[in-house]
Structure 1
Amino acid sequence: MAKTRQKKQQQNFFPFIKWFWILFGAGVLSVVLIFLLASWGALGEMPTFERLENPETNLATEFISSDGETLGKLYLDDNRTWVDYETLPQNVVNALVATEDARYYDHSGIDARGFARALAYLGTKGGASTISQQLARQLFVGVRSRNLFEAVTQKIKEWVIATRLERNYTKEEIIAMYLNIYDFGYNADGIRSASRIYFGKEPAELRTEESAVLVGMLKNSSLYNPIRREELVFNRRNTVLGQMAKYGYISEKEKDSLQNREMKINFNPESHREGLATYFRMYMQRYLNNWVRENPKPDGEKYNIYLDGLKVYTTIDSRMQQNAEEAVQEHMKNLQAEFFHQNTPDRNPTAPFLDLTSGAIDTIMERAMKRSARWRHLKREGLAEKDIEATFHKKTEMTVFDWNSDSFEKDTIMTPMDSIRYYKTFLRTAMMSMEPQTGHVKAWVGGIDYKHFQYDNVIQGSRQAGSLFKPFVYAAAIDQLRYSPCFTLPDNLYSIEPGKHGNMEAWTPKNSDGTYSGEDMTLKSALANSVNTITAQLIDRVGPGSVASIAKSMGVTKDIAEVPSIALGTPDVSVYEMVGAFGTYANQGVYVKPVMVTRIEDKNGTVLFEYKPETKDVLSKDVAYAMINLLEGVTQYGSGGRLRHTYGKNQTVYKEIITGYPYELTNPIAGKTGTTQNQSDGWFMGMVPNLVTGVWVGGEDRSIHFNRLLYGQGASMALPIWALYMKKNYANEEIGVSKDAFEAPEEMSINIDCSKQQQEEEEDIDTGDDLDDLDF
């Protein structure tokens, strides 16, 4: 009876067992089928094998300095630079594995235990996404859908792709890919950008607690934002450190010590308008746009400078660039304060303009309005000109440049027309520094602040050279007539008659102070003190054509009218051109075209471009050295003398307006100041044996200038920037800027010892052999 009952119960239970295995088998088959369907693309597009082998990630173009630092990047949406696994610090990898996927090295893309735990506790004790799954979602799946069916479908696709990634890549490669593609916010795409932006350092330099901050952000970079939610991120960092201790990557003692440390964020935002060498980087953008047009890929397509991860190796030295920007900032802030002081409404009712009628000012303002980005934008939208102009007279909220603010910005309300006038009150500047032997440009500052003043005065701007042009005249005289620095000419009013050298009227230049000594002056003394009458006599003897020819051979590209007045600097030149030209003197007469890029590589390190220097023999070695000797006189006892010593009665004034004065530099320096009419432009070119640097300072318009020569001359406006820059360079001996004397040629046919030359010239005059008696 009992056996019969037991047998009957087994028969009744058999259908349940049968259906259990049927359902179980169906479930397994369904899961397999779902995965197969997902892999076949039935649940949505899946990445091909080729895409898995080469996942598409946008890489920014990177500008690298000559000393190995990243100057900046070019990108549209993704500020990403790839970092190989080998260069990642172990503490980042450990923090990632401990926090995101503790069994990472034991599974093949899907963590079964993690999935079971998440299913059992409905995710309250942690999710089940492995690092491989998170990478799959980042690369190929996208943002999780809020639709339940779509979310499940996405999860299945993640599983499939994760297993494929595990077959195609090593564990180390997957970690590197994941850290390289994650968006950490604030244009911090990938671990390298995040490390630089949040901590100001390369990933390899990250401390354990800093790595914990970045790994903590992987949960949700918007939520765990160290700039906006410091306390939340601090707690998240300590959670990561706790996980590292839990899995044995750090000890409990280390964990406690690190958790008690202050979270120090060193925020360094990376954008096109901020950071180091902004003007140079924007020049490089234009340079690359031209380069990619002329240098396509092997398949004929153009390189994308924003997406293809080009590495551009530049000649800029990041330390010298920093010194240059600091020197500009220090002096220009001080000089601008004096300019504002002299241009109050009481002192100058037409400020910032001088010597202009109201009609002329209106013309300048209208021209500026029509050149503005606002005008162009509204014009493209189809607004009538009268309607556009009306918007320029309506007050609006705006952020403007301000030297007195810590951020150099202030919020205000003004009309766009008033903002145009406001910006015209600021003096502008340009500075470029170059190694004369190689042409390598070491520093490039195109203005006072790229964010608000985007016109690059180094290469886009051309201004009258003033006395800075005189060395071309002296070089022509020494080269063609074999004059020496000790050759003398009288300081008398000198006139070139009409018709000679192509001038229509008589040309009779005056000295800047309106006086004439009547005495003979050596060329060295005349150039040092920028005596116009001597320069006029020299150009009369060699002819304007010879001077223009030499200037063009030394890199001046603008048209130069071959008339006598060019001797005093009427041609417009750029800082870029003048630095290259003066480098010819320091390089023993050989002109080397300035170089900014030494090499371009693709993202794989393949060299796409290597520069070839462009040189030209312009002057013989002895002529070049004679010019150096002349230019050294400028800094010994001429207009550049304040580099070495103080200046009597004006010393107090100089100390007030010129940052860092007195400079007391003692090493050999060749240089030349330049000042144009009405003090509209101030120049200084300074050279030591392995560095030539040019500086220009002036207003946006020639009518914006100081009213007195004391403040508006090149020695006051431009020279201080050069001096501050060089002192900063000399303070860092690793930079290697020379303090030595200029190298003299082995055979010097031109006498530069004026103590001997004076007696010889007196004897020549007595016998009538002096070239001064000849008619050129």
Structure 2
Amino acid sequence: MAKKKQVKQEQGFSKYVRWFWMLFLGGLLFVALLFVLARFEVFGEMPDHTVLENPKTSLATEIISADGKTLGKFYFNDNRTPVGYDDLPQHLVNALIATEDARYYSHSGIDAWGTLRAVVKMGSGGGASTISQQLAKQLFHGEGSTNIAERITQKIKEWIIAIRLERQYTKEEIIAMYFNIYDFGNNADGIRSASRIYFNKEPRDLDIKESAMLVGMFKNSSLYNPRPHRNPVGTKNRRNVVLSQMEKYEFIDEKLKDSLQKTELDLNYSPESHREGMATYFREYLRDFMKQWIENNRKPDGSKYDLYGDGLKVYTTIDSRMQQHAEEAIQKHMPRLQAEFDHQNTPKRNATAPFLGLTESEISGLMKRSMKQSERWRHMKYDLGKSDKEIEASFNKPTQMTVFSWKGEIDTIMKPLDSMRYYKSFLHPGMMSMNPQTGHVKVWVGGMNYKHFQYDHVKQGRRQVGSTFKPFVYATAIDQLHLSPCDELPNTQITIEAGKYGNTKPWTPKNAGGKYGGNLTLKNALANSVNTITARLMNKVGPQPVIDLVKKLGVEAEIPVVPSIALGAADLSVYEMVAAYATFANAGVYNEPVMVTHIEDKNGTVLYQFKPESRDVLSAETAYVTVNLMEGVTQSGSGQRLRHTWASKVPVYKEIITGYPYELSNPIAGKTGTTQNQSDGWFMGMVPNLVTGVWVGAEDRAAHFRTITYGQGASMALPIWGMFMKSCYEDDQLNVSKAEFEKPKELTINVDCETYQEEEENTLPEENIPDELDF
């Protein structure tokens, strides 16, 4: 009986064993079947070999400076620029391994022990996804579904893709891909953008605690957002968990862990957006350049390049160090100049502020024209179909807005029409630097704040150039008449009769301050911007040869063929002026400005290489003599404040003069310019290997300084040039020349005449300050 019972027990046990093995093997077969079905895309499309080899991710176009720095990027949603494994510091990799996948180097895509633990603990002990699985998820199907069946099939697809990724790539390549694919928030797509945005450095320069913070964000970058007013405390706590994991797996010791956990996040938040950062106006010019290039070029398969997703690299001529110096000079000078302008244009001092010389009806007309030129008007008129009456009413309806000020943005409620008038009170800068020998543009500053002022005052804007046009007249006269800087002409009024050069009325220009008498050398006359001497030269050569020369110097603007252009009545851009002046510094050879040297695709294949365009315009002798004339401006004319300290002691200047003393002792050729009613201030300055032009003025010419004391080029524009050059000379890596301009071997024109010195230059009461008024 007992034996029979034992047999029955053994039979019952063997039945359970059989059932166990049947279920176990059946489960294995079922899982295998699921893998086979997934492999044959029953549960949805799977990436093939080609897709795995070239996973499709949007890569931002990167703008690279001449000195190898990233100036900015073009992207729609993904601000991603991939880096290789060798560009990742080892502690960053260690932090990832310790936190996300401690057995990473010992599995082939699936961590069996981790998976078993997750099944036994029903997920309470943490997930079992390897780095390879997480990469597969990021690349090919994103966030998991809430449906259990779909989650299971997605997990199976993850496993298959992870195994295939491990076969396709090395462990190091998978780690690099994972860092490059992740979205760290705040436009920080991939590790390179994240390290630049959160810490303003390249990935290779991250320290341990910075690396730990970024790895901690892999858990949930939306939750662990380190920015103030988001979740810096939670992010710090998560970073400390990563540091603990690094200590657990012996990547760091306990002492270092404890010390790092006590530190703050120490962010250096540097947002990367299209309207912020360095060289914003240049980047916008470059966007148009690239769009035109893309229209005329195709990929090998005939499709268009994608500026925002193909990962192009655009190598530019801009020097990030010079660009930084230029932007800092503008940020120092413009607020002080603006403060003086605002002081002169209070309602008490100027009832029509910020405009001068306009009646209320003229101002009303000006504002109405500005309304019709605005983006608000365009949007409401053409996108929303509103009537003119409705649109005008909207300009008088108070609305919430953020406006620019030099002390920071202001959140306010204001009528759009009032905000337009407020913005018209601002003075704006435009600045460009160029190497005259190569044509490479080194600096491009189109304004003071691209977020609030999108108009580019380097290439888009054209304004009257004032006395900066005079060197073109002098160069024409030197070229045609073989004149010397030492030649003298009478400083008396001259009238060019009506009809002589197409002018409909007699033209009799006046000197500023009514100063006449005696003879002046050409060098003295240009240094002190004497209008009568320039008019006499124009009378000798005529306006057409001057215009012909200016056109050869790259100026495309229409210039009227009348004698009065001698005093700068023409509207030209900073871009045109710098390129033209550069020809004088380059021995008479014009080089078309170059902004892009070459373009590469994401694989480094060169798609575009610039071809220099140059032409002979003047003889080397004429160019050198013209430069010699302009050296007199900084030796004895309105540009002499670049060399002396007196201006900082003159009461009328001390509030706006910035960067003093410049004390530049090297050879400098240049020309200041001031236009009618002090609406525009210019300074064009040259050394042998760098030509820089600066313009300052308001959006509307009716907004200007009342007097020439502050409204001349020497006060408005020259200080920016002086501070910029001073900074460039203090930066030894830039190699900006301090040498003399190269003299032609065969110079037949005498340039060694006495340098004119202003009387009483050390006292300089206001009436003796060098005049720049051209009309």
Q: What residue identity is the alignment partner of 2:115?
A: F
**Cα deviation 1:63-109 (Å, max 9, x = unaligned):** 11111111110100000001011111111111101100001111111
Instruction: Decide which moves more: 748-757 or 75-84.
Output: 748-757
Residue 465 of structure 2 contacts residue 682 of structure 2 at CA under 8 Å; is this kept in 1?
A: yes
Determine the C-alpha separation between the residues in 1 that align with 2:237 and 2:290: 44
Q: Distance in 1 between matches of 2:252 and 2:405?
A: 48
Give the match for residue 282 of structure 1.
Answer: 284
Q: Could you say which residue in structure 1 is the equivalent of 2:454?
A: 454
CA contact (8 A) 2:672 2:684 kept: yes
The one-letter amino acid paired with 1:148 is I
Moved more, 600-609 or 164-173: 164-173
The one-letter code matched in structure 2 to 1:391 is S
- Deviation of the 1:715 alpha carbon: 0.6
What's the CA shift string for 1:536-575, capped at 9, x where partnerless? 1101111111100111111111111111111011111000
Local SS of the residue matching 1:656:
coil
Deviations, residues 333-389 of structure 1 (Å, cap 9, x unaligned): 000000000000011111111101111111111111111111112221222221122
Matches within 5 A, 1:31-430: 31-227=31-227, 228-379=230-381, 380-404=383-407, 408-430=408-430
- Stretch deviating more after TM superposition (335-344 or 726-735): 726-735
Per the alignment, do residues 529 and 377 of structure 1 end up closer, same or farther by CA in structure 2, a change over 3 Å counting?
same
Separation of aligned partners in 2, 1:54 and 1:649: 62
2:653 aligned counterpart, secondary structure: helix
Q: CA offsets, 1:491-530, max 9 Å, x none?
A: 10101111111111111111122231x2111100000011
- The answer on whether the counterparts of 1:590 and 1:619 sit within 8 Å (CA) in structure 2 is yes
1:344 counterpart letter in structure 2:
T
What does residue range 20-35 of structure 1 map to in structure 2 within 5 Å? 20-35=20-35
Equivalent residues in 2 for 1:3-18, closer than 5 Å:
3-18=3-18
Counterpart position of 1:764: none
- 2:648–2:657 CA contact under 8 A, matched in 1: no
Partner of residue 766, structure 2: none
Aligned residues of 1:655 and 1:661 also touching (Cα < 8 A): no
2:558 partner amino acid: D
> What is the aligned partner in structure 2 of residue 721 from structure 1?
720
Q: Does structure 1 residue 621 correspond to structure 2 residue 620?
A: yes
Report if the CA contact (8 A) 2:648-2:654 is conserved: no
Q: Distance in 2 between matches of 1:171 and 1:381?
A: 55
CA gap of 1:648–1:229, structure 2 versus 1, over 3 A, is closer
Q: What is the CA–CA distance in structure 1 between the aligned matches of 2:52 and 2:646, rounded to whole Å? A: 72
What is the CA–CA distance in structure 2 between the aligned matches of 1:197 and 1:264, rounded to whole Å? 13
CA contact (8 A) 1:654 1:661 kept: no
Specify whether residues 263 and 724 from structure 1 end up closer, same or farther in structure 2 by C-alpha distance, changes over 3 A only.
same
CA distance in 2, matches of 1:364, 1:748: 53
Find the counterpart in structure 2 of residue 19 from structure 1.
19
**Do residues 565 (structure 1) and 564 (structure 2) align?**
yes
The code of the aligned residue for 2:190 comes to G
* Pair 1:296–1:649, CA change in 2 (3 A): closer
The equivalent of 1:589 in structure 2 is 588
Query: Which region of structure 1 is more displaced relative to structure 2, 476-485 or 649-658?
Result: 649-658
Give the superposition deviation at 1:424: 0.5
Give the letter for the 1:530 counterpart.
S
Structure 2 counterpart of 1:563, which letter? Answer: V
SS in structure 2 at match of 1:652: coil
SS at match of 1:721: helix
Distance in 1 separating the partners of 2:702 and 2:749? 43
1:101 and 1:646, CA in 2 relative to 1: closer, same or farther beyond 3 A? closer
* 1:653 counterpart SS class: coil
Deviation at 1:756, TM superposition (A): 12
The residue that corresponds to 1:603 in the other structure is 602
| Unaligned segments of structure 2, at least 5 residues | 757-775
Task: Rate the CA distance shift 1:346–1:288 in 2: closer, same or farther, 3 A.
Answer: same
CA shift for structure 1 position 16 = 2.4
What displacement does 1:150 show? 2.2
Say which SS state the counterpart of residue 754 (structure 1) adopts.
coil
Q: 2:136 and 2:288 mapped to 1: Cα distance?
A: 36
Q: What secondary structure sits across from 2:607 in the alignment?
A: strand
Deviates more, 1:745-754 or 1:630-639: 745-754
Q: How far 1:20 moved relative to its partner? A: 2.2
Q: CA deviation at 1:51?
A: 1.2
Q: Is the 8 A contact 2:636 2:755 kept in 1?
A: no
Q: Secondary structure at the match of 1:502?
A: coil
> CA offset at residue 682 of structure 1?
0.5
How far the C-alpha of 1:170 sits from its partner, in A, is 1.2
**Larger deviation: 479-488 or 153-162?**
153-162
Partner SS, residue 685 of structure 1: strand
Separation in 1 of the partners of 2:647 and 2:617? 40
Give the equivalent residue in structure 1 for 2:528: 529
Structure 1 SS opposite 2:351 = coil
The more displaced of 172-181 and 40-49 is: 40-49
2-structure distance, mates of 1:755, 1:329: 39
Counterparts of 1:205 and 1:151, CA distance in 2:
39
CA distance in 2, matches of 1:288, 1:513: 50
Separation in 2, partners of 1:385, 1:559: 34
| In 1: Cα distance, 2:9 partner to 2:333 partner | 101
TM-score normalised by L of structure 1: 0.95
Shift of residue 119, structure 1, vs aligned partner: 1.6
What is the TM-score when the length of structure 2 is the normalising length?
0.95
Amino acid in the other structure paired with 2:710? Y
Aligned partners of 1:664 and 1:210: how far apart in 2? Answer: 43
SS in 1 for 2:513: coil
% identical aligned pairs: 65
Name 2:541's counterpart in structure 1. 542
Partners of 1:667 and 1:283 in 2: CA distance: 33
Matched residue SS, 2:278: coil
Q: CA deviation at 1:165?
A: 1.2
Matched letter for residue 286 of structure 1? D
| CA distance in 1: counterparts of 2:153 and 2:755, whole angstroms | 95
In structure 1, distance between residues paired with 2:512 and 2:681? 14
Q: Aligned with 1:397: secondary structure?
A: strand
Counterpart position of 1:770: none
Change (3 A) 1:246 1:607: same
Does the residue aligned with 2:672 lie in a helix, a strand or coil? strand
Unaligned runs of 5+ in 1: 758-776
Q: Distance in 2 between matches of 1:396 and 1:502?
A: 52
Greater mean alpha carbon deviation, residues 273-282 or residues 143-152? 143-152
CA contact 2:647–2:657 (8 Å) conserved in 1: no
Deviating more after overlay: 222-231 vs 685-694: 222-231
Instruction: Quickly say closer, same or farther: Cα 1:755–1:433, change in 2 above 3 A.
Output: closer
Q: Is the 8 A contact 2:37 2:43 kept in 1?
A: yes
Once residues 672 and 565 of structure 1 are traced to their aligned partners in structure 2, the CA distance between those partners, rounded to angstroms, is 18
Mapped to 2, the partners of 1:418 and 1:641 lie a distance apart of 41
How many correspondences in the alignment?
Answer: 753
* Cross-structure match for 1:773: none
Aligned residue type for 1:132: S
For 1:250-307, what per-residue CA distance to the aligned partner results, in whole angstroms no more than 9, with x for missing partners? 2223222322333211111100000011001111101100111112112221111111
Whole-angstrom distance in 2 between the partners of 1:137 and 1:492 = 84
Looking at structure 1, the residues matched to 36 and 183 of structure 2 have their Cα atoms a distance apart, in angstroms, of 31
2:730 paired with 1:731? yes
Q: Which amino acid aligns with 1:87?
A: D
Whole-Å Cα distance in 1 between the matches of residues 290 and 118 of structure 2? 51
**Pairing 1:520–2:523 present:** no
